[in-house]
Structure formats: C-alpha cells, structure tokens
Amino acid sequence: MNDPSPITERRVRISPRLQRRVRALGRGREDGQQGICATARLDRRTKNLTKRLGAGEVAVIDHVDLDRVSAEALVSCQVAAVVNVAPSISGRYPNLGPQILVEAGIPLLDDVGPEIFAKLKEGDLVRIEDETVYRGDDVIAKGTVQTPETVEEALTEAKAGLSHQLEAFVANTMEYVKRERDLLIDGVGVPEVDTRIEGRHVLIVVRGYHYREDIAALRPYIREYRPVLIGVDGGADALMEAGYKPHMIVGDMDSVSDDALTSGAELVVHAYRDGRAPGLKRVEDLGQKAVTFPATATSEDIAMLLADDKGATLVVAVGTHANMVEFLDKGRAGMASTFLTRLRLGSKLVDAKGVSRLYRSRISTWSLLFLVLGAFIAMTTAVIMSPAGDVLRPLLADRWHAFLFWLTGLFT
C-alpha cells in the first residue's frame, strides 16, 4: 500500500469556473431562458452512461456515494451538469466523487428522487435553474445544488463515521474467509490457462485511479521485463490505448470493448460461486473461447490470485484500490476479498499507483533534443572539414541511423 492514511485530505476551493457555472443556474440569458440548457442522457449505471455522453450534455444518474472513478469519467466527458437521483454523499464515508465534480466546475444537483427516470426520456432538452430541472415549462424534479462549502461540510461529517464502516468492512472480510478459504489457501477453483505465467512478471491493469499516468511511468519497465499483460475488464482497453496488446483479459466482460475481446487475448470470465457467468454469453456471441473462474472476489482480485497460483514472480498492479476510502468507493461488500488477496500475495505484489508522481526524469525532452542537435552539428562539421570525409560519411551515416533507432525506442 502506498498511502499510509485511509483518507486523502483535499481542501475544497471555489474555482472561478465553478462560480460562473453555478451562477448560470439562476441567471437570465438573452434568449429569455435561464440556467443551463442541454440534452439529457439517463442511465442508472454511471459506468454505462459515460460510454455515450457527449460534451455539453446533462448526465442524469442514480449513484449513492458517487465514487472517484465515476466522477473522473464524467469530468472527462465534459458534461454541462450532473443530476443525481440519490445523495452523492450519504455520510457513510468520505467519498471523493462530488469534490472532483465541483472542483472541475461541473454543477451537481443532488437527491432529486427516482421519479425523474419516469418523467424524462433519453435526448430530452432540459433546463436546470436554481435547484429545479425543467423540460420546457414543466417542472421535472427538484434537488439540492452541491457547492464547495456543502461538499466540505458533508465530507467532514462522513469522516467522523468512518470507524463504523471499518467495522462492517472487517465483518464482511471474515464472512468472505468462510466462503473462500479453499481458494485463498489452496487455490481450489483456479482455472487452467494457456498463457505462460510461471517465472515471469505480471502487470495487472484496472481502469481505476491514475491508470494512464502509471502505465506511462511503467513504459521502461514494460520494455525491459516484458511482463504478462492482464487487463481487468476495461483495463484491457487501457492497455490498448497505451499501445500494448493484452495477453489475458479477466473480468465480468461488461465494460470491455469488442475490439479488446477479439484482439487475441486469452479470456477468463469471472463467474458467480454457483458457476453462473453472465459475461460468457457475450464472449461466445463474438465467436471467442473463454474459461470461467467462479469466485465471490472482485475481478481485480481473481486476476491477482490467478497470477499468483500460476507462479508469477512479481505482480505489478495499476489502477487498483489501495486504501480504505478506495475500498469503500468500490463497495464494502464487494471489496471483502481485497485485504486477504493482498495478504496472500505479500511482497510479490507491487502497487504502481503514484509511481508517476514519485519519479520524474531529470532530463527534459527539450534538453535531450538540444543534445541530439549539438551532436549532429558537431558530426556534420567534422565530416565537411576532414579530408577523409568521403570515407567517413557512409560510416557516420550508419552510426547516425543506429542512434536515431535507439532514441526512438526511448519514447515507444
């Protein structure tokens, strides 16, 4: 674990962008309309909604305790506003999603009630003014506008009750031990796979916190050690976006693209303990073969258990959950396997989270370019001035091309 504290302290500041957009909720416009007017996109699962959200649209979600990953996805979609059916901060624990939205200048209208899903349709034009959602002149829903002050107050109150959530997390973990002791201790139920893992490093990528920065920071490691690349659901797409082809994809197969599933990677479908695997049908519909891994653990945990069982010498995790707030963000019951999985892997597991912030190259790109330019000028001058230039030119040209090939490898 790289974070000794279970809570990441972040002060909420009122950015000028947020001030302008919150004021827009109640400001008249030249066309006579007030507030924010935009097309509404609706989905009870935020993860599904972000796949089709466009810039400048209003996201209507049903997400109690909006987590950090979902909030960052909404910010990357450049939404005009977020309307949440449920409380974005229930007070159970200090979730960071609402804070990320308000810091990004995105208005958050909270706790509007589930009726909005019955009253609105996908693609309806809505207007958000003050604490009310309109369609035309009809009132669709009312809620509470979250501001930096209300978010900070809610987070402070939530931190006070964190101990109760810790107790519940421990209880769920003990219940998980009773159900999965054979898997954790003896590896019972781990499927056979074709990918050779024994004696190799394994890089497991989850599309979670700071995964892009961590993958970029690990490029020299990937180039040198050539680890087995395992994408957990959308983590496979993250690898492909970075220019890598996953060797294996593990998960429910609900948030990974068809391109990744048909990329040639070995597929391991996460199944329920009774053997049901809803994601298997999608894989078969694409004409792909897969093995199933029945377990009540999370998909990222079964990927780690699989790598450990098959003899990996080192497991590097990117984008996984690493502290108590992140465990609770994922869901207390769902993360019951996390602590025990990390306990089993022990020192074999290395968390890559924060690598990009811990290490920065001392040589800037511009410095390297000036160095190359200086070397080129010196070599050219030597060839021109030397009587033996006709002999040296072909040799220097070969050396120069070899150097350019090496230099290109540093950035790929």
Do 43 and 83 belong together in one domain?
A: yes
Do 205 and 140 belong together in one domain?
A: no
Report the share of the chain in percent with pLDDT over 90.
Answer: 42
What is the average pLDDT across 51-55? 90
pLDDT digits (tens, 9 = 90+) for 81-132: 999 999 998 887 778 889 999 999 999 999 999 999 999 999 999 999 989 9
Instruction: Give the pLDDT of residue 207.
Output: 87
Residue 392: which pLDDT band, with cuts at 50, 70 and 90? low
**Is the residue at 168 inside a domain?**
no
Do 20 and 153 belong together in one domain?
A: yes
CATH of the domain at 58: 3.50.30.10
Among 333, 358, 383, where does a domain finish? 358
Q: At what angle do helices 299-309 and 336-345 cross, to 10 degrees?
A: 20
Instruction: Give the pLDDT of residue 332.
Output: 45
Name the domain count of the chain.
3
Instruction: Give the pLDDT of residue 257.
Output: 93
Residue 233: which pLDDT band, with cuts at 50, 70 and 90? very high
Do 198 and 293 belong together in one domain?
A: yes
Decide if 138 contacts 80 (C-beta within 8 A): no
Amino acid sitting at position 272: Y
What is the average pLDDT across 189-194? 88
Of 60 and 319, which is predicted with more confidence? 60
Of 381 and 5, which is predicted with more confidence? 381
Q: What's the mean per-residue pLDDT of the chain?
A: 80
Do 205 and 275 belong together in one domain?
A: yes
Do 222 and 352 belong together in one domain?
A: yes
**Is the residue at 57 inside a domain?**
yes
3-state secondary structure (DSSP) of residue 250: strand
DSSP 72-136: HHHHHTT-SEEEESS-S--SSS--SHHHHHHHTT--EEE---TTHHHH--TT-EEEEETTEEEET
Do 353 and 381 belong together in one domain?
A: no
Q: Is the pLDDT of residue 16 over 60?
A: no
Do 92 and 230 belong together in one domain?
A: no
Parent domain of 276:
192-358
Do 330 and 378 belong together in one domain?
A: no
pLDDT digits (tens, 9 = 90+) for 139-175: 999 999 999 999 988 888 877 766 666 666 666 666 6
**Is the residue at 67 inside a domain?**
yes
Nearest to 235 by CA among 356, 312, 316: 316
